[in-house]
Structure 1
């Protein structure tokens, strides 16, 4: 209760107008990491038409605020370096200074609770915290002032909550036991591997919100430009096409607001369409980043966000593509790297969602998917082992963005042939193809013309797997790990797992 009250007070305090004429964008604080190799924009507000001098390192720019008081200064790209520098901004009346900045690699981490899951809560997290100190690894951690838990929020709090004051942050913080403990475990392990391999400063901006649907992370133009998504903007809190679990949780949080709604206004809630984009992404769009890591889907994969039926695959495909394109469009970078996590194994109907994630990965460029089918938990939507997930995301970035000679994929089926009653699957990324336990590969199935799948016996030979089934004389289809929580064991020599798949045999 103390924590909840504090968050309310912080949110209300942010609505009080500041007497300061000169304001710097919130992403600029002490210890900030600036993306190396890209033009640097520094921005903020001041008195209308006021002259503003901006000094970044040893370079000075003079600009003027426009009629609305906004100003922006642009500097040339900076090389990655451990040599710190300062940012100083003055309008002749006030001077704002940010100390100990670094140029390096900046990534944005977003999604819902599995991206938010703290390092201290994760498998091996407390041991990692003991040796995590690294002044060149830095976090910018956004925390939402309304956590969508099972609470009814006071009306006075809801009345003042908006996208301008939703996120709270302590600013950029160097990695130490205190800052790392509550930071995203996935993002921490991702960043740690980048630091170890690249030997440059790394900064992570984290904005995930537990339970949030993908709709909350989309910008307005993603809805208005797409006839399949546009209807979701209409009365989202009672729209039957909006994710059911999110509507139900929001209805509980908004009990007092919905009892006496403000005429003409939608209820303020982080699950609302566009809310988290407006609150978290819009304020960052001038700030250059290297790429995005994304872990989300649990709230969208099934009709009720739980053990109900799977959502139609097509609409989730539209939403994920819209999200990726939105990041690239709004950052004016059509090839912005985007790496996402395939939903892990759990006793929920997530097979179609996983397949959709895999299909999108192969349709768009500069996109990669970290397979997590082997690190799930049958009854826990928050599997605690986050280190493999963060490491696999980092492998994708290191290989595809930074050109490192490192395997970033598990075995991927590339050719399927029928030899009498045997099916032979050839894989790419199959060097050292093996099972983790030394036994025959599990969870392969074959089906005949009747469409009924039966377990198949699998054997490994070099980069291929041969399948047979006594119940299927003439196989026409094969699938692997096609279950809620499959017991998988197929990996390559880098111990990266094969993703679930299903294919017709031609």
Structure 2
């Protein structure tokens, strides 16, 4: 075993300022390893072939270096262009993985001047031990700067938009570590002990156990020996069309023949990306304990597709707690609620429930804050091509709750109290700013019932309160109000910062 730092350490990396900086890797047994960072030197022994040093917290630096040397082998590895600033994990599935080149604002982002202090590292998508060493990952596993079109196109779009906002405000290097994989459930990113401890998640473990019991094991192991091949050009073209919002009908007509059956990371099995705890073990634990400020998370579509919506809050609480235990810190967790979707390129089954569960997680755990994007959906495309509001709203939450701008209006309006009097129902909201406003939409966002009959009330909006008026209310024993609790909906209520209100439903009895 030669000197080998962990993959995440490399040329142009960004390290987290203000907290201890761990550096680790492998070498020959009992080797003396010397690490020099930003002028500071540490020595350690590679007991059992593994080594680790931890530097004291450092201030932001735009250009420094790291040198790692082995006394036993004489090897010396030097990484230049190292910066120290702010680092976030960009986690989740395809809408976080979503490359900037597919975003509707890509051309505009390409016109932004080069910024070498904004960088992105995506960890290779590996789902089993040995895959990282066996397979080739030409687009991943190294730090990209915001300079060339090629590099910009391979940024996570939400991370790119968030990063630009943070760079403008903080004035220090900003980097993101991509731990994301489309089509994966929350359980794949969660520690085994957390899954085992939650009764509701036994359904996920049972699902995988049943699937494994039906495997043709010799065939499975034989298929898994062969690395995934690059898709042929026609499949790449189909992927581009899929991400760019091509019609489902056109894609179906142009779909190339399916490849021969073989190993798929999306089918259950002991090496699958979708298996419980698989990506936690093979991606996340290889990134930890790299210094990070917090996590941005966009995921939930796969759990919805698998019918796991009813306990998605338990899934996410287990995930967040396992990540915090791994880093031994209460990492801030900024999660994106699912965008509106009906059916087309993807199908929403219970998105309204998933969003509700995401808010339950926000209420249950400290340091968790949600982005609402009810105004940024696409009825027919699960991969919404407008990631600007996602990234910019994540930046707002980070500025307020992580970087201390507590007066900043960063939260979406949220219902806090209700009341009824005669012919009116009053709905009062937190985070209204200088006042709420109501916007016309092409589909109905608000449903009101009085004793089981639909009502179309007049709507008045003033400061932090929405008032509904109807003569029917004065005689009704029960009034129900429901706002944007559909899989596909269009936001109508916003605060003065242009942030859409969270969905809600209330029932008022006389």
Counterpart contact for 2:204–2:276, Cα < 8 Å:
yes
1:190-269 correspondence to structure 2 within 5 Å: 190-230=162-202, 232-234=204-206, 236=208, 238-239=210-211, 255-256=261-262, 266-269=269-272
| 1:342 partnered with 2:337 | yes
Residues 381 and 454 (structure 1 numbering): CA distance in 2 closer, same or farther, change over 3 Å? farther
Counterpart contact for 1:444–1:458, Cα < 8 Å:
no
Counterpart contact for 2:21–2:290, Cα < 8 Å:
yes
Select which of 8, 14, 20 maps to 1:33.
14
Instruction: Determine helix, strand or coil for the equivalent of 1:395.
Output: helix
| 1:175 partnered with 2:146 | yes
Match of 2:36 in 1: 55
Residues 465 and 356 (structure 1 numbering): CA distance in 2 closer, same or farther, change over 3 Å? same
Residues 418 and 164 (structure 1 numbering): CA distance in 2 closer, same or farther, change over 3 Å? farther
Residues 289 and 439 (structure 1 numbering): CA distance in 2 closer, same or farther, change over 3 Å? closer
Moved more, 406-415 or 379-388: 406-415
Work out the CA distance in 2 between the residues paired with 1:166 and 1:465: 57
Residues 165 and 376 (structure 1 numbering): CA distance in 2 closer, same or farther, change over 3 Å? farther
1:306-357 C-alpha deviation (Å, 9 max, x unpaired): xxxxx452x1111011111111111101x21000001111113311111111
| 1:488 partnered with 2:491 | yes
Moved more, 472-481 or 99-108: 472-481
Instruction: Determine helix, strand or coil for the equivalent of 1:212.
Output: coil
Select which of 139, 142, 145 maps to 2:120.
139
Moved more, 351-360 or 32-41: 351-360
Residues 121 and 497 (structure 1 numbering): CA distance in 2 closer, same or farther, change over 3 Å? same
Match of 2:219 in 1: none
Q: Which runs of 5+ in 1 are unaligned?
A: 1-19, 147-157, 241-249, 305-310
Counterpart contact for 1:30–1:100, Cα < 8 Å:
yes
Work out the CA distance in 1 between the residues paired with 2:443 and 2:416: 17
Counterpart contact for 2:7–2:141, Cα < 8 Å:
no
Work out the CA distance in 1 between the residues paired with 2:460 and 2:486: 21
Select which of 317, 322, 328 maps to 2:318.
322
Match of 2:233 in 1: none
1:129-178 C-alpha deviation (Å, 9 max, x unpaired): 232521111111234369xxxxxxxxxxx9x9647767942411211222
Work out the CA distance in 1 between the residues paired with 2:443 and 2:205: 46
Deviation at 1:217, TM superposition (A): 1.2
Deviation at 1:112, TM superposition (A): 0.8
Residues 337 and 253 (structure 1 numbering): CA distance in 2 closer, same or farther, change over 3 Å? farther
Work out the CA distance in 1 between the residues paired with 2:155 and 2:375: 24
Instruction: Determine helix, strand or coil for the equivalent of 1:287.
Output: coil
Deviation at 1:255, TM superposition (A): 4.1
Work out the CA distance in 2 between the residues paired with 1:478 and 1:343: 22
Counterpart contact for 1:440–1:458, Cα < 8 Å:
no
Work out the CA distance in 1 between the residues paired with 2:4 and 2:130: 21
Match of 2:160 in 1: 188
Counterpart contact for 2:69–2:75, Cα < 8 Å:
yes
Counterpart contact for 2:437–2:496, Cα < 8 Å:
no
Counterpart contact for 1:212–1:270, Cα < 8 Å:
yes
TM-score by length of 2: 0.82
Instruction: Determine helix, strand or coil for the equivalent of 1:352.
Output: helix
Counterpart contact for 1:115–1:184, Cα < 8 Å:
yes
Work out the CA distance in 2 between the residues paired with 1:489 and 1:37: 41
1:303-318 correspondence to structure 2 within 5 Å: 303=306, 311-313=308-310, 315-318=311-314
Counterpart contact for 1:119–1:126, Cα < 8 Å:
no
Deviation at 1:420, TM superposition (A): 1.4
TM-score by length of 1: 0.82
Counterpart contact for 2:441–2:491, Cα < 8 Å:
no
Deviation at 1:81, TM superposition (A): 2.6
Residues 86 and 303 (structure 1 numbering): CA distance in 2 closer, same or farther, change over 3 Å? closer
Q: Which runs of 5+ in 2 are unaligned?
A: 213-223, 225-257, 343-347
Work out the CA distance in 1 between the residues paired with 2:79 and 2:162: 26
Instruction: Determine helix, strand or coil for the equivalent of 1:144.
Output: coil
Instruction: Determine helix, strand or coil for the equivalent of 2:409.
Output: coil
Work out the CA distance in 1 between the residues paired with 2:207 and 2:302: 19
Select which of 476, 481, 499 maps to 2:479.
476
Instruction: Determine helix, strand or coil for the equivalent of 1:101.
Output: strand
Residues 298 and 445 (structure 1 numbering): CA distance in 2 closer, same or farther, change over 3 Å? same
Deviation at 1:484, TM superposition (A): 2.2
Match of 1:70 in 2: 50
Select which of 447, 450, 456 maps to 1:448.
450
Counterpart contact for 2:8–2:141, Cα < 8 Å:
no
Work out the CA distance in 2 between the residues paired with 1:407 and 1:81: 30
Moved more, 104-113 or 361-370: 361-370
Match of 1:15 in 2: none
Work out the CA distance in 2 between the residues paired with 1:139 and 1:440: 38
Deviation at 1:224, TM superposition (A): 2.5
Deviation at 1:454, TM superposition (A): 4.2
Match of 1:307 in 2: none
Select which of 85, 90, 93 maps to 2:64.
85
Work out the CA distance in 1 between the residues paired with 2:132 and 2:191: 12
Match of 1:395 in 2: 396
Deviation at 1:201, TM superposition (A): 0.6
